[in-house]
Chains A and B, each alone.
Chain A
Amino acid sequence: MKLILDIAFTHVFTRVRQTLVGMIGVAMGVGFSVMMASLMEGSQRDFVAQLVDSLPHITVSDERRNPPRQPAQDVYAAVEFKGLRTPVTRPGIKNPYAIMASLEAWLSGAAAPSVASRAVIRYAGRDTAASVTGIDPRRERSVSKLPTQIRQGTLEALYKSSNAIILGDKLASKIGARVGNTITLVSGTGQVLSCTVVALLHSGLSQADETQAYTLIKTAQILAGQTGLVNAIRIRTTDIMAARVVAQRIEAQTGYKAVSWQEANEDLLSAFQIRNFIMYTVVGAIVLVASFGTYNIISTITHEKTRDIAILKSLGFTEATVRMIFLIESLLIGLAGTIAGWILGYVLCRMLGSVEFKSPFMDATTLPLYYTPVHYLLAGAVAMTASAIAGYLPARKAASVHPVEIIRGAS
Chain B
Amino acid sequence: MTGAPTRAGESPTRDTTTTHAPAVDARPLLELRKVTKTIGDGVLTTLVADIDLVIRSGEFVAVTGPSGSGKSSLLYLLGLLDIPTSGEVLVEDRSVNTLNEAARAQIRLATIGFVFQFHFLLPEFSALANVMLPMRALGRLRDQAMRERATALLVSLGLEDHAHKLPGQMSGGQRQRVAIARALANEPQVILADEPTGNLDTHSSEQVLSIFRRLVDDTGRAIVMVTHDLDLANRADRHVRIVDGRLA
Contacts and interface: CB of A to CB of B under 8 A. Distances in A.
B81 A316 contact: no
A43 B189 CA distance: 71
Given A14-B124, A407-B116, A408-B72, A315 B137 contact: yes
Contacts of A311: 116, 120-122
B110 interface: yes
Interface stretch (A64-72, A106-114, A255-263, A317-325): A317-325
B79 interface: yes
Contacts of A10: 124-125
Contacts of A318: 101-102, 105-106
Contacts of B105: 313, 316-318
B106 A316 contact: yes
Nearest to A315: B134
B47 to A, nearest CB: 10
A3 B81 contact: no
A410 B137 CA distance: 24
A403 B121 CA distance: 14
Contact of A314 (B107, B114, B117): B114
A313 B133 CA distance: 12
B120 A2 contact: no
Contacts of A316: 105-110, 134, 137-138
A312 B120 CA distance: 9
Contact of A3 (B101, B102, B117, B136): B136
Interface in B122-172: 122-125, 133-134, 136-138
B158 to A, nearest CB: 23
Nearest to A320: B102
Among A3, A11, A403, A404, the most chain B Cβ lie within 10 Å of the Cβ of A404
A307 interface: yes
B65 to A, nearest CB: 15
Interface string A292-320: 00000000000000011011111111111
Contact of B118 (A313, A319, A410): A410
B194 interface: yes
Given A315-B108, A318-B102, A403-B81, A3 B124 contact: no
Contacts of A11: 124
A314 B72 contact: no
Given A10-B125, A320-B102, A410-B118, A3 B195 contact: no
A323 to B, nearest CB: 12
Contact of A315 (B124, B125, B133, B194): B133
Interface residues of A, number: 26
B82 A404 contact: yes
Nearest to A11: B124
Contacts of B72: 408, 411
Nearest to B113: A315
A316 B110 CA distance: 8
A143 B123 CA distance: 73
A185 B219 CA distance: 115
Contact of B122 (A308, A320, A321): A308
A406 to B, nearest CB: 9
Contact of B120 (A14, A307, A321): A307
Contacts of B118: 410-411
A401 to B, nearest CB: 12
A411 B117 contact: yes
Interface in B33-91: 72, 76, 79, 81-82
A411 B194 contact: yes
B137 A3 contact: yes
Interface string A385-411: 000000000000000000110011011
A328 B64 CA distance: 43
A39 to B, nearest CB: 43
B134 to A, nearest CB: 5
A311 B107 CA distance: 15
Given A311-B120, A316-B138, A410-B118, A404 B106 contact: no
Interface in A163-209: none
Contacts of A321: 137
Contact of B195 (A313, A317, A404, A411): A411
Among B105, B106, B114, B194, the most chain A Cβ lie within 10 Å of the Cβ of B105
B20 to A, nearest CB: 29
A404 B121 CA distance: 16
A411 B116 contact: yes
A189 to B, nearest CB: 91
Contacts of B137: 3, 315-317, 321
Nearest to A403: B81
A312 B122 CA distance: 9
Given A3-B137, A316-B107, A410-B118, 16 more contacts: A3-B136, A7-B122, A310-B120, A311-B121, A315-B133, A315-B137, A316-B105, A316-B108, A316-B110, A318-B101, A319-B101, A404-B82, A407-B76, A408-B72, A410-B120, A411-B118
25 contacts: A3-B133, A10-B124, A308-B122, A308-B123, A311-B121, A311-B122, A313-B105, A314-B79, A314-B81, A314-B114, A315-B133, A315-B182, A316-B105, A316-B106, A316-B110, A316-B138, A317-B109, A320-B102, A403-B81, A404-B76, A404-B81, A407-B76, A407-B120, A407-B194, A411-B72
Interface of A: 2-3, 7, 10-11, 14, 307-308, 310-321, 403-404, 407-408, 410-411
7 closest residue pairs by CB, A with B: A316-B109, A311-B120, A316-B108, A3-B136, A318-B102, A318-B105, A10-B124
